[in-house]
């Protein structure tokens, strides 16, 4: 007897091919697209799975695959658990990662609730990642074979009990192979361009989205000693590690910190930017490490995981000591811990403690 699978369809080529692969493997597939914004899709809206084109494409692909498709309203949960924390983080001078929060608290939580209601045994997506369940029934989240598209960084916070029933059909494929499969099957999304934007900004930059939602006031640009070097036009326009666009003489200068309390951008040299000890909070573990373990730490999605030692694991807090200084450690981003190709878990980076 075949298993029933709920496939989350974004309207892109990845989820389209995932659906075709699942059907070929004998699964009974039901497609669902999550409507994450309190707005009706229009032809003018762009970005993410709430755009007119993406919802339309998801329906078209489902029809071509011969599967049922539903559009489900998850806007209230998405607003409360992703958009509001995104705004609050910028108000606090942090650099949030909304995709991590969505996967951890909305996308898969809501998907499994739907799956239970619709009699589906598993949930599948077009993410580039891999999961296997060992002989003891323990799930293991692994990096995708195709490292250029690996999305395991964004998935560390998915609950362990859900992870064991998730399918990532694309985990062993490259992007060119996915597009070729789409052409072979005749999927309309085979050559569709990918969106690199935050879904809820609808084609705008994140600074444009935050305008009117976060108070943005000019303030000082200072060095570590408090010397004023220039003026910034609002903290939301800056990111830790940023070098260009500071408008300062001398240097080169790098953004070291966003001081929300004093509405100041703190800058310094590249040497000052490097951090070896990084602490994170709100930890979520699939397989928790212990103090003394050697691991890999990843401080942002495009960061190459670096060698580190776990120096502390205490409830929701943990600290990694990297072998070499890491540059551009931005509070609010995710610190993801792995051992080889296996993702162990992660948490949200805290501002470093400075000795006065």
- Let me know whether 162 and 257 are in one domain: no
DSSP structure string for 158-194: S-HHHHTTEE-TTTT--HHHHHHHHHHHT-TTTTPPP
- Let me know whether 8 and 39 are in one domain: yes
Q: Work out the average pLDDT over 151-174.
A: 97
Alpha-carbon span 133 to 162, nearest angstrom = 12
- Indicate whether 38 belongs to any domain: yes
pLDDT-derived band at 346, boundaries 50, 70, 90: very high
pLDDT-derived band at 282, boundaries 50, 70, 90: very high
pLDDT the model gives residue 309 = 98
- Among all residues, which ones are annotated catalytic? 102, 199
- Indicate whether 179 belongs to any domain: yes
- Indicate whether 105 belongs to any domain: yes
Averaged confidence pLDDT in the chain: 91
Residue 329 has which token pair?
């450690």
Helix 13-24 × helix 175-185 angle, to 10°: 70
- To which residue do tokens 């072998």 refer? 323
Alpha-carbon span 340 to 295, nearest angstrom = 8
pLDDT-derived band at 215, boundaries 50, 70, 90: confident
In the predicted model, is pLDDT for residue 152 greater than 90?
yes
- Let me know whether 111 and 134 are in one domain: yes
**Residues whose CB is less than 8 angstroms from the CB of residue 300 and which lie 6 or more positions away in sequence, other chains included:** 328, 330, 333, 334
For 38, 96, 233, 268, 309, the CA distances from 218, given in Å and listed in that order, are 32, 21, 4, 19, 40
pLDDT-derived band at 290, boundaries 50, 70, 90: very high
In the predicted model, is pLDDT for residue 48 greater than 60?
no
Alpha-carbon span 347 to 337, nearest angstrom = 9
- Let me know whether 100 and 160 are in one domain: yes
pLDDT more than 90, % of the chain = 80
- Let me know whether 235 and 293 are in one domain: no
- Let me know whether 279 and 170 are in one domain: no
pLDDT the model gives residue 356 = 43
- Let me know whether 156 and 35 are in one domain: yes
In the predicted model, is pLDDT for residue 97 greater than 80?
yes
What CATH number should be reported for the domain holding residue 300? 2.40.30.10
**Ranges assigned E (strand) in the chain:** 4-8, 28-35, 68-73, 122-124, 129-133, 139-143, 166-167, 219-222, 228-232, 254-259, 264-268, 275-285, 294-298, 306-314, 317-326, 334-339, 342-349
pLDDT the model gives residue 338 = 98
The DSSP bridge partners found for residue 228 are 222
- To which residue do tokens 């501002």 refer? 351
Q: Residue-wise over 252-273: b if at least 16 C-beta within 10 A, else e?
A: ebbbbbbbeeebbbbbbeeeeb
pLDDT the model gives residue 196 = 67
pLDDT the model gives residue 195 = 72
In the predicted model, is pLDDT for residue 78 greater than 70?
yes
In the predicted model, is pLDDT for residue 216 greater than 90?
no
For the segment 311-326, what is each residue's pLDDT rounded down to a tens digit?
999 999 999 999 999 9
Select from 147, 162, 166 the least CA-distant residue to 303: 147
- Let me know whether 43 and 68 are in one domain: yes
pLDDT the model gives residue 39 = 61
pLDDT the model gives residue 355 = 45
- Indicate whether 188 belongs to any domain: yes
For 12, 50, 141, 328, 348, the CA distances from 298, given in Å and listed in that order, are 27, 30, 15, 11, 11
Of 309 and 212, more confident: 309
pLDDT the model gives residue 53 = 65
Structural domains of the chain, count: 3
What CATH number should be reported for the domain holding residue 265? 2.30.30.280
pLDDT the model gives residue 260 = 93
Q: Work out the average pLDDT over 262-282.
A: 95
- Indicate whether 342 belongs to any domain: yes
Alpha-carbon span 122 to 30, nearest angstrom = 10
- Let me know whether 264 and 307 are in one domain: no
Neighbours of 242 (CB within 10 A): 18
Q: What is the dihedral of CA 100, 106, 112, 117, to 10 degrees?
A: -170
Which residue range(s) make up the domain with 128?
A: 4-201
Alpha-carbon span 251 to 295, nearest angstrom = 35
- Indicate whether 206 belongs to any domain: no
- Let me know whether 179 and 35 are in one domain: yes
Winning range, highest mean pLDDT, from 35-39, 188-192, 346-350:
346-350
Domain end (from 170, 201, 232): 201
- Let me know whether 265 and 278 are in one domain: no
pLDDT the model gives residue 37 = 80
Domain end (from 254, 269, 284): 269
- Indicate whether 189 belongs to any domain: yes
- Let me know whether 76 and 196 are in one domain: yes
Domain end (from 269, 285, 304): 269
- Indicate whether 310 belongs to any domain: yes
């Amino acid at each position: 007897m075949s298993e029933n699978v709920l496939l989350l369809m974004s309207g892109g080529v990845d989820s389209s091919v995932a659906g075709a692969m699942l059907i070929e493997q004998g699964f009974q597939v039901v497609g669902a697209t999550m409507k994450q914004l309190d707005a009706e899709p229009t032809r003018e809206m762009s970005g993410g799975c709430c755009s007119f084109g993406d919802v339309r494409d998801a329906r078209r692909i489902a029809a071509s695959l011969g599967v049922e498709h539903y559009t489900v309203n998850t806007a209230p949960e998405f607003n409360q658990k992703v958009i509001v924390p995104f705004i609050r983080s910028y108000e606090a001078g942090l650099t949030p990662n909304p995709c991590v929060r969505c996967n951890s608290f909305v996308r898969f939580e809501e998907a499994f609730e739907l799956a239970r209601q619709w009699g589906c045994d598993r949930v599948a997506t077009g993410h580039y990642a891999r999961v296997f369940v060992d002989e003891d029934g323990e799930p293991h989240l692994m990096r995708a074979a195709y490292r250029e598209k690996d999305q395991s960084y964004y998935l560390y916070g998915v609950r362990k009990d859900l992870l064991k029933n998730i399918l990532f059909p694309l985990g062993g494929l490259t992007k060119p192979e996915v597009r070729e499969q789409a052409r072979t099957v005749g999927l309309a999304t085979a050559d569709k361009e990918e969106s690199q934007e935050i879904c809820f900004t609808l084609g705008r930059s994140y600074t444009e989205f935050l305008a009117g939602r976060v108070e943005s006031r000019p303030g000082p640009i200072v060095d570590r000693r408090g010397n004023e070097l220039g003026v910034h036009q609002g903290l939301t326009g800056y990111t830790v590690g940023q070098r260009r666009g500071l408008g300062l003489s001398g240097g080169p200068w790098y953004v070291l910190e966003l001081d929300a309390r004093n509405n100041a951008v703190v800058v310094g040299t590249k040497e000052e930017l490097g951090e070896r000890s990084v602490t994170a909070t709100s930890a979520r573990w699939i397989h928790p490490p212990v103090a003394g373990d050697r691991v890999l730490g990843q401080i942002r999605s495009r960061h190459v995981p670096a060698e580190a030692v776990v120096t502390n694991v205490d409830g929701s807090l943990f600290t990694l000591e990297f072998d070499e200084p890491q540059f551009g450690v931005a509070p609010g981003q995710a610190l993801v811990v792995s051992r080889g190709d296996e993702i162990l878990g992660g948490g949200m980076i805290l501002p470093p403690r400075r000795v006065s």
